[in-house]
Chains A and B, each alone.
Chain A
Amino acid sequence: GQSLEQPSEVTAVEGAIVQINCTYQTSGFYGLSWYQQHDGGAPTFLSYNGLDGLEETGRFSSFLSRSDSYGYLLLQELQMKDSASYFCATPNSNYQLIWGAGTKLIIKP
């Protein structure tokens, strides 16, 4: 089966950098994605890692280490609007996208 673990909550200060970790257990690996979800809103795609290394998209970066079954999402220059839940997700061999339980990011001024 597939499972992903991520911290339930992370707190950071506006303007700082925060890292949200995700470890996974999978039978077969097809990449790791990150989604952002504001309260009451829909998940929005942030980034995807299919290979080891860092992917950068503006203030957000995502990293993957397949040998460690580990990835993280890095958010820089935090803004209050970044307060949201962040989910890592990975597909299984049946095209199902399996999600972590989410990390609630709380940003303090």
Chain B
Amino acid sequence: NAGVMQNPRHLVRRRGQEARLRCSPMKGHSHVYWYRQLPEEGLKFMVYLQKENIIDESGMPKERFSAEFPKEGPSILRIQQVVRGDSAAYFCASSPTPNQNEQYFGPGTRLTVT
């Protein structure tokens, strides 16, 4: 039973380019969460999605950031026109229910904006 998959593991983008981060939840999990982590800090919630629905995007910047979790395929976190401040580790987690107390994390995508 594969765990949460994220790709790419490392992504380098120049300022102004687009970054697309992918997350495949664990089998049987329909709840996906995206977090951002800066060095030496805790995780910051960005968005919570179920299949085809955004449940809570209150942690996601209103501009340049978007997320989706289509009926088929992985969840995508998209960052348009990246800036240096977007450099961080982005983690995806999944759970089988809306139980927030036990989430399973992917290995993360380290985004570096040059």
- Chain B residue contacts of A44, Cβ below 8 A: 105
Nearest residue, chain B, Cβ from A41: B107
Q: Tell me the interface secondary structure of chain B in the complex.
A: loop
Q: Does A54 reach chain B (CB closer than 8 Å)? A: no
Asked if A102 and B42 make an inter-chain contact with CB atoms under 8 angstroms apart, the answer reads: yes
B98 & A95 in contact (Cβ 8 Å cutoff): yes
| Contact string against B for A residues 91-109, beta-carbon threshold 8 Å, 1 for contact and 0 otherwise | 1001111111110000000
Given known A-B contacts A87-B42, A95-B48, A96-B45, A42 and B108 have beta carbons under 8 A apart: yes
Does B42 lie within 8 Å of A101, measured CB to CB?
yes
Q: How many A-B contacts at CB < 8 Å in the complex? A: 57
B102, A99: Cβ atoms closer than 8 Å: no
Q: Does A96 contact B58, Cβ atoms closer than 8 Å? A: yes
Q: Is the CB of A33 within 8 A of B101?
A: yes
Contact A43 B105 (CB under 8 A): yes
Chain A contact residues: helix, strand, loop or mixed:
loop
Q: A42-B91, A42-B108, A43-B91 are in contact. Are A97 and B42 (CB under 8 A)?
A: no
The size of the chain B interface, using a CB distance under 8 A, is 24
Q: Does B69 lie at the interface of the complex (its beta carbon under 8 Å from any beta carbon of A)?
A: no
A-B contact pairs, 28 of them (CB 8 A): A31-B101, A42-B105, A43-B43, A43-B91, A43-B93, A50-B101, A89-B42, A91-B100, A91-B101, A94-B56, A94-B58, A95-B55, A95-B98, A96-B45, A96-B48, A96-B56, A96-B58, A96-B59, A97-B45, A97-B103, A98-B45, A99-B42, A99-B43, A99-B44, A100-B42, A101-B42, A102-B41, A102-B42
Residue on B nearest A33 in the bound complex, by CB: B101
